[in-house]
């Protein structure tokens, strides 16, 4: 296990590199296996449309996982992901290109808080929230 000290140059406003994803049907099916959630709105287009949705919806927890991955790739080896909290403001459809973004809002001691969100190509924020990481001491 590799763990490094927190770098000294974490500053408010620093941006995490964007993490882009374009969920496929295979990815959503694999997520079903990982999460156990076989809700048909995430895999059955006919069902989703019959429910009044525009198509297959990307699962919220998978979007949460994308945001978590974006944070840890920015984080490197000097800390661990402690908290993720988000609200789903819109729906993301299968095949839609998504960009996960994050910016440092607070750095108090070992605890760093980032504002995180998922936006689509129309720059609409469909998921908004925050992530907290804790630096290894």
Partner 1 sequence: LSVLFSFDATLPFSVLLIMRQCGILFLSLHSSYNLFPKAMTASLTLEDLRQKIGHPWLKSEHVINGDLIRRYAEVVGGNAQWWNRIDQVPPVILATLGFEQVVSALRKLGPLVLHGSSDVETSRLVHTGETLVATLTLISIRERPALDNHAVFVVIQGEYSDYRGESVATSRQLAIVWPRGLGG
Classify residue 110 by burial, with Cβ atoms within 10 Å: 0-12, 13-18, 19+.
middle
Q: Closest approach of Cβ 26 to partner 1, in Å?
A: 7
CA–CA distance, 6 with 116 (Å, rounded to integer): 20
Q: Closest approach of Cβ 87 to partner 1, in Å?
A: 4
DSSP 128: E
User: Which residues, in sequence order, are bridge partners of residue 88?
Assistant: 127
CB closer to partner 1 out of 5 and 50: 50
User: Which residues, in sequence order, are bridge partners of residue 80?
Assistant: 134
Q: Closest approach of Cβ 88 to partner 1, in Å?
A: 6
Q: Closest approach of Cβ 126 to partner 1, in Å?
A: 12
CB closer to partner 1 out of 13 and 99: 99
The residues that touch partner 1, with contacts defined as CB under 8 A, are: 1-3, 19, 21, 26-27, 29-39, 41, 43, 47, 50-53, 57, 59-62, 64-66, 68-70, 72-73, 77, 80-88, 91, 132
CB closer to partner 1 out of 33 and 121: 33
CB closer to partner 1 out of 61 and 120: 61
Q: Closest approach of Cβ 130 to partner 1, in Å?
A: 10
Radius of gyration of the chain (CA): 16
CB closer to partner 1 out of 5 and 80: 80
CA–CA distance, 77 with 14 (Å, rounded to integer): 17
The Cα-based distances of 69 to 23, 63, 64 in angstroms read 14, 10, 9
């Amino acid at each position: 296990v590799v763990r490094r000290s927190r770098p000294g140059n974490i500053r408010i406003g620093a941006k995490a590199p964007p993490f882009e994803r374009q969920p496929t049907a295979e990815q959503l099916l694999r997520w079903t296996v990982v999460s156990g959630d076989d809700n048909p709105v995430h895999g059955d287009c006919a069902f989703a449309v019959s429910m009044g949705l525009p198509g297959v919806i990307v699962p919220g927890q998978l979007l949460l996982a994308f945001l978590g991955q974006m944070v840890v790739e920015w984080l490197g080896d000097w800390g661990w992901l402690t908290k993720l909290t988000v609200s789903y403001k819109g729906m993301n459809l299968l095949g839609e290109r998504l960009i996960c973004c994050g910016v440092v809002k607070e750095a108090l001691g070992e605890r760093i808080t980032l504002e995180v969100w998922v936006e689509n190509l129309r720059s609409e924020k469909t998921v908004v929230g925050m992530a907290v990481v804790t630096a290894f001491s």
